[in-house]
Structure 1
Amino acid sequence: MTNALKHSAACSTLILLFTAPAWAQPQTSASARAEGEQQIHDKVIVTGEQIPYLRLSETATKTNLDLMDTPLSVTLLNKAFLEDLHSERLADAYPYTLGLSQSGTNANSFTLRGLSASLQNVQINGLPGLASRFGSPTSANIERVEVVKGPASVLYGLMEPGGLVNIVTKRPEEEASNTLTFTTRSYASETSGFGDDTGAGLTFDSTGSLTDDGKWLYRLIARVETQDTFRDGVSYDNVYLFPSLTYRVSPEAEATFGLEYVKEDGDADDGLAAVNNDIDQTAPINVRYQEDGDFDNDEGLVAFAHVNWDISAKTRLRLNLRSVFHEDERKLYENNRVNDAPDLEDATLRRRDRHQLNKREYHFVDLNISHAFDTGPAQHNLLAGLNGGFERADYERIRFGSAISPNISILDPAYGVGEPVAITAGTDRITDYLNYGAYIQDVAAITDWLTVMVGGRYDRQDVDFTEQTTDFTDDQMSDVFLPQGGIVIRPNDALSLYASYTESFNPNSVQRRDANGESFNPERGEQTEAGLKASLFDEQLNLTFAVFDIEKTNIVETNLNGDLQLLGGLESQGAEFELQALPLENWQVRFGYAYTDSVISQSPDEALIGRRNAFAPEHDAFFWTRYNLPRDVWNGTVGASVGVNYESDRVTNASPSTQVELPGYTRLDLGFYYEADQYRMALSMENIADETYYTGGTRDTRIFPGDPRLLILSLRAKL
């Protein structure tokens, strides 16, 4: 990208999120309600009217079940909201996703309901396998995002118990459309003045029919972006390409094939270091401890296919395939240990030489069939499926472990003077994972007011581990049965009461063994949840309330004799309330509040029991509103939005020796919009008060500050 493009001045951030809006249905059974409903309600937009809402979620049950009949908490973000907020990355939506807290910069750096996520907790069209790892996924090809709170292993396999973030990608459409979106951004703060660190992006999105009969459809999405960040010497250049084809075999069957290509090149950044475990004893938020030339590079290629076949009015088959070939390379002097001192000026940071090359392959498949039938007055929707896959992870440490001498000043680092004490030999570890499972689920409308969900899964994982440099090999087998169940009571069309029980599992590392050399059983998660959902005043006011209790057990810890045992446990309890209202057709209001008490419940170190989990704020809240003028302005619609996000204090990790408490913060965001038939212009202003806050980190050596005041401008044209 040219310097002129790069320094234009400001592009997108996301201040908004969508949960279940238009829920209320006629007082008919769950099966009947789901049959005739569209997933996204299109309608004619009158002057100033807010964009229609998403009302169904396939992710929670892998069926088109109305959210009022779903005994789980689900948050929905549709394309309209992601666009409204100028979301460039999925993480831009996190501040307005209730119960989700960012904990770092990687794709899986977040907690859900107070529990950390893994890469398996972020899926694309219901299958794991992100194209990149270091950064949060781009929103260029996102149609919508569905967040299921709590364990989701019965339908989706191994993962952490906090919840599932499922990205539904854009598909080819028959109606021809070509759009070009230009975004530009600049900080405007004390840390980085207006025009000092800027960036720009360009997205092209084209879709339509390749044949006159509409049997072959295509879509091509391409995006390039470049960004200088407020961190000293940190910038990135990214390229994304998403081509896809759909073949309509018949009115009842279609197949979609596509590719995803991602290339992300950036400067390595390990964040700030805190002296004496005190966040007030850190350098200014722009200070970086890595050297010029240290990098984080990511490249991935994905091939996928989806087959949808409505065999009959009551039976449908779905096949989903995804293969990922991914490589990431990290070379840097990484932050390793803080050398504390009474004064910040005297403290130093030990760095460590690291050069890592990771190669991954993922091949996953999901095949399921659903069938609707009756048994007496009960209406059933039975789902049965098989899913699983093969994963190979090749982690090569080209160099690792040698300290850099001399240490670097934390307050005023000098670059280019440190060298490794010694060149250390690396390691090369290859791990093969073979995972497969079978699941079944029945959603039964027993009466017009009572719906019951039951399900279960059998899952097995085989692991083979090889250390290439020493020829050490090991293997492990884990299997498990997981049940789930739920009940929904609908006393009337406007109210839904529900309760559910769900489980999760995640195998422990093959490299961890007990004193007898035996492998460990998988980590287990269990959630009990109850709540209510209400849709009032002709669907203009929608409320959700949930209470939950999640227990995670079988965590490997070191006992007092120095041996590994299944001694660890976590518990997260809390309550969530969310409101979405349309007081007027051109005025939208959203509010959410979550209370989460997430602590260590079991540990061989009794001093740790009761301590908070990392990045599990006790209080999390947001408010967002958008108002559109009810009359034409320049033959278009003019609107404005205000967003406020609050998180209470968090801790970076559980260990008292390296734990840093990050203070709570409140962030204020503003947005202005102009939309006409062929054009859209939007200006976002994030962190208006230019507050210093921290979004993630690990220990006292890696703490990531949030963006200072940021201006973002986007221009979209239909070609």
Structure 2
Amino acid sequence: MKFAINPVTHSLALILGLTSYVSAEETATELDTMVVVGKQNSYLNPEVSTATKSNVDPKDTPLTVNVINQQFLQDIRAESLSDAYGYTTGLSQSGTNADSFSLRGIDTDLNNIQVNGLPGLASRFGSPTTANVERIEILKGPASIMYGQVQPGGLMNIITKKPQEEASFSFDISGNSYSTGVSEFGDDNSFTGSIDATGPLTDDKKWLYRFIVSAEDNNSYRDDVDSQNYYFFPTLTYRPSDETELTFGLELQTEQRVPDDGLVVLDNDINQIAKIDTHYQSADDNGEDKGLVAFATFNTLVTDDFDITVDWRSVWHEDTREYYRTTSVDNTTDTVSLVDRENDNKRQYHFIDTRTTGSLWWGEVEHQLLAGLSFGYEQKDFDRLTYDDARTVDFSNPTDLTGHEGDSSVNHRITEYMNYAAYLQDTIYLNETWTLMTGIRYARQDADFERVDRGITDSSSSDAFVSQAGVVYHLSEATSLYASYGESFNPNSIEDTDANGDHFDPEKGRQYEVGTKTDLFNNKANLSIAYFDIKKTNVVEENLSTGEDELLGGVKSTGVEVELLMMPIENWQVKLGYAYVDARVSDNPDDNIEGNRTAASALHDAYVWTKYNFPYKIADGIVGTTLGANYEGSRYTDEDSTDRVKLPGYTTVDIGLHYEIEHYRASLNIENLFNEIYYYGGSGDTNIYAGDPRNITFSLSGKF
């Protein structure tokens, strides 16, 4: 696809010229009706649900919940969740997989991403699509009281689109290309298209539907790297009465891509790195993710004060890869070693969460109660074949590899988990000024392990009580102060045992947090400030004196987060944030690790985003501009000072221009405007991931 104009110079001049025009809010009067030209959908979020599993005012909860809503995802042209990471405080991306990020300096795993409050993603190797996302709620700090076994940095809850009573049909198509020295404009093009239809199936609106289809054809600036992704999300809602609702849906996903392990560096020095388009894997390598999800939510009112909700989610997922995996770099010969591997990984997740919420009054005191039971089954079936002989390629000019060499070895592991939990949360409204929150959860996990290729079996059980407590003081109707304490747990691997062959207790986490939340300018702005102190213990590490694994590891993270969302006038809004996160390995038997910063965590990160619509019509439509900047401080790829690479801090700038008329919207977005070369994540001195160079996207959408 070739474009007839040079969009960089033309759009930049236009956007910068328009953005320099600053105007007070103007209105047009027609037939005595006041009409605001350029009115926007707000980024402000008056309610959150992830902290209590029910909709509440953020000022009423002693926890931090950041929200990225659908309007913001549209404005930044986010096709996957990772596209929005730069505009979230305390979140740092570390790689390309779905769970490759840290929250408040603590690394995450797949359980730290949930969908409608339950674990189980349909894909693993890429960041989740936004095609079916209504909003993303990021609950900071330990979330085990509500969501079970998760790392204590926080949890990302994807809330999906639901069927609507009002019929509508929308479409969105986009094409993008790079404009940089390694990929000239028009050389590597990508296309995305989606449709979203919803409405009633019957005249009485007891049956509602939603049907979302999306497809992506992505061509990277990196040599031979591309992907083709397809998504299908059908959903039905049945409302037999005003008090009862049942929603059932499916997610079908298939993602095909050329595997890409990123770049390597010489002598652990980021200045000794190949060009950002260097690809060490073979063009013939392939990887595929396939996922099928079935889910349902049932809610009914059992009394005037209490309801019951049942959430169910089942996932069948398989990813296969045949590729040359990067293993090491030789600083003497300037060569990169790769190993030929074939992976077939299968996962199943089946979870049910049943809960009741409602209010009880003891005298003048209201108790908002939440009580629930959770049950889950997981199976992980990993079958991996590795060829013994390593292959080498040139560091700066790798050749394409084909065929298999050497003998092969098999590593086939099957692990099954049974999870049981019961939890209780009580939010106590003492009066108009004071609110207390307490909670407790008991959880148990039984695990069975089989090393199929060796005929080894094992089993283990672990359980934990975790608690939560918080207090909110309403300084005024617009401002609240809060303090909270929360705990987390995460079972250690069944494959890890001590010198006696016994399994380890779960990892534990705890957090202290204090902060304030304020509505400003007659609810036209939200300001939140939080200080946190997190500690994770019971981390399995090798005792260097004995060579045995022990619970010797720990991580500590302290910091401050600030976020401000404001819409001072109806055609202009601003979103900005800053985070200081000092996350370090507090306990480790290795002096080269203890005291070091955790991998992929930045001491400082900040962002600013603004959107301005002009208060008068241009060509009978609304014209608006966007401008965003994201700063990420320096990070390390590993905790071990003998193996890690320091990734420099960077700042990227994004700009956009959009035009809306009647039911249509056309947008031109330029990401990384100044073509900053930067590296956002990696591990050790291999698998270093470069950020995208200047990227230009044109999109057209419509809604009827």
TM-score band (shorter)? over 0.9
* 1:175-186 equivalences in 2 (<5 Å): 175-186=166-177
Q: Does 1:461 find its partner at 2:445?
A: yes
1:368 corresponds, among 355, 369, 378, to 355
Do the aligned partners of residues 4 and 536 (structure 1) sit closer, same or farther apart at CA in structure 2, a change above 3 Å counting?
closer
Do the aligned partners of residues 562 and 45 (structure 1) sit closer, same or farther apart at CA in structure 2, a change above 3 Å counting?
farther
Counterpart residue identity of residue 140, structure 2: K
Counterpart residue identity of residue 80, structure 2: R
CA deviations on 1:160-203 (whole Å, 9 max, x unpaired) are 11101000000111111111211111001112110010010110
Counterpart residue identity of residue 479, structure 1: D
Q: Shift of residue 401 of structure 1?
A: 5.3
* 1:61-460 equivalences in 2 (<5 Å): 61-341=52-332, 346-397=333-384, 399-400=385-386, 402-405=388-391, 407-416=392-401, 420-460=404-444
**Partner of residue 16, structure 2:** none
Q: Does 1:622 find its partner at 2:607?
A: yes
CA deviations on 1:491-541 (whole Å, 9 max, x unpaired) are 211211000001111100001100000000000110000000111220123
Partner SS, residue 425 of structure 1: strand
Q: Shift of residue 589 of structure 1?
A: 1.4
CA deviations on 1:121-165 (whole Å, 9 max, x unpaired) are 000000000000001110000011100000100110001111010
**Partner of residue 547, structure 1:** 531
Partner SS, residue 81 of structure 1: helix
Q: Does 1:49 find its partner at 2:39?
A: yes
Q: Shift of residue 46 of structure 1?
A: 3.4
Counterpart residue identity of residue 247, structure 1: Y
Partner SS, residue 447 of structure 1: coil
Partner SS, residue 93 of structure 1: helix
Partner SS, residue 205 of structure 1: strand
Counterpart residue identity of residue 47, structure 1: V
Distance in 2 (CA, whole Å) between partners of 1:678 and 1:549 is: 48
Q: Does 1:680 find its partner at 2:665?
A: yes
**Partner of residue 633, structure 1:** 618
Distance in 2 (CA, whole Å) between partners of 1:204 and 1:590 is: 28
1:666 corresponds, among 640, 644, 651, to 651
Q: Shift of residue 381 of structure 1?
A: 0.5
Distance in 1 (CA, whole Å) between partners of 2:467 and 2:683 is: 34
TM-score (ref. length: structure 1): 0.92
CA contact (8 A) 1:394 1:429 kept: yes
Distance in 1 (CA, whole Å) between partners of 2:432 and 2:387 is: 64
Counterpart residue identity of residue 402, structure 1: D
Q: Does 1:510 find its partner at 2:510?
A: no
1:566 corresponds, among 541, 551, 554, to 551
CA contact (8 A) 2:592 2:641 kept: no
Q: Shift of residue 587 of structure 1?
A: 1.2
CA contact (8 A) 1:45 1:51 kept: no
CA contact (8 A) 1:404 1:419 kept: no
CA deviations on 1:372-412 (whole Å, 9 max, x unpaired) are 02112211101000113000100001x2252333x211111
Distance in 2 (CA, whole Å) between partners of 1:321 and 1:421 is: 46
Distance in 2 (CA, whole Å) between partners of 1:62 and 1:691 is: 41
Q: Shift of residue 435 of structure 1?
A: 0.7
Q: Shift of residue 583 of structure 1?
A: 2.6
Distance in 2 (CA, whole Å) between partners of 1:45 and 1:577 is: 34
Q: Shift of residue 718 of structure 1?
A: 2.7
TM-score (ref. length: structure 2): 0.94
Distance in 2 (CA, whole Å) between partners of 1:661 and 1:282 is: 12
Q: Shift of residue 584 of structure 1?
A: 2.0
Do the aligned partners of residues 4 and 216 (structure 1) sit closer, same or farther apart at CA in structure 2, a change above 3 Å counting?
farther
Q: Shift of residue 83 of structure 1?
A: 1.4
CA contact (8 A) 2:434 2:471 kept: yes
Partner SS, residue 492 of structure 1: coil
Partner SS, residue 65 of structure 1: coil
CA contact (8 A) 1:9 1:184 kept: no
**Partner of residue 21, structure 1:** none
Distance in 2 (CA, whole Å) between partners of 1:169 and 1:234 is: 30
Partner SS, residue 549 of structure 1: strand
Partner SS, residue 267 of structure 2: helix
Partner SS, residue 276 of structure 1: coil
CA contact (8 A) 2:387 2:404 kept: no
Counterpart residue identity of residue 578, structure 1: E
* 1:585-604 equivalences in 2 (<5 Å): 585-604=570-589
CA deviations on 1:545-589 (whole Å, 9 max, x unpaired) are 100000000000000210000000000000011112223221111
Q: Shift of residue 419 of structure 1?
A: 5.9
Q: Does 1:493 find its partner at 2:477?
A: yes
Q: Shift of residue 420 of structure 1?
A: 5.0
Distance in 2 (CA, whole Å) between partners of 1:45 and 1:184 is: 34
**Partner of residue 581, structure 1:** 566
CA contact (8 A) 2:565 2:576 kept: yes
**Partner of residue 28, structure 1:** none
Partner SS, residue 277 of structure 1: coil
Distance in 2 (CA, whole Å) between partners of 1:220 and 1:188 is: 35
Partner SS, residue 154 of structure 1: helix
Distance in 2 (CA, whole Å) between partners of 1:74 and 1:408 is: 46
Distance in 1 (CA, whole Å) between partners of 2:586 and 2:265 is: 27
CA contact (8 A) 2:558 2:583 kept: yes
Do the aligned partners of residues 239 and 455 (structure 1) sit closer, same or farther apart at CA in structure 2, a change above 3 Å counting?
same
CA deviations on 1:599-655 (whole Å, 9 max, x unpaired) are 000011133221010011000000111111011223322110110000110000111
**Partner of residue 530, structure 1:** 514
**Partner of residue 12, structure 2:** none
CA contact (8 A) 1:408 1:414 kept: yes
Q: Does 1:607 find its partner at 2:592?
A: yes
CA contact (8 A) 1:442 1:454 kept: yes
Moved more, 443-452 or 370-379: 370-379
Distance in 1 (CA, whole Å) between partners of 2:564 and 2:348 is: 41
CA deviations on 1:176-234 (whole Å, 9 max, x unpaired) are 11112111110011121100100101101111111111111111000111011011000
Distance in 2 (CA, whole Å) between partners of 1:322 and 1:619 is: 37
Distance in 2 (CA, whole Å) between partners of 1:322 and 1:415 is: 42
Q: Shift of residue 50 of structure 1?
A: 2.2
Distance in 2 (CA, whole Å) between partners of 1:351 and 1:67 is: 49
Partner SS, residue 83 of structure 1: helix
Distance in 2 (CA, whole Å) between partners of 1:57 and 1:470 is: 49
Q: Identity, % of aligned pairs?
A: 47
Distance in 2 (CA, whole Å) between partners of 1:9 and 1:640 is: 15
CA contact (8 A) 2:343 2:383 kept: yes
Distance in 2 (CA, whole Å) between partners of 1:111 and 1:312 is: 42
Distance in 2 (CA, whole Å) between partners of 1:469 and 1:512 is: 18
1:58 corresponds, among 49, 59, 64, to 49
CA contact (8 A) 2:387 2:405 kept: no
Counterpart residue identity of residue 301, structure 1: L
CA deviations on 1:444-503 (whole Å, 9 max, x unpaired) are 110100000000000000000001112100011000000101000002112110000011
Do the aligned partners of residues 351 and 141 (structure 1) sit closer, same or farther apart at CA in structure 2, a change above 3 Å counting?
same
Distance in 2 (CA, whole Å) between partners of 1:60 and 1:145 is: 13
Distance in 1 (CA, whole Å) between partners of 2:7 and 2:312 is: 40
Do the aligned partners of residues 169 and 4 (structure 1) sit closer, same or farther apart at CA in structure 2, a change above 3 Å counting?
farther
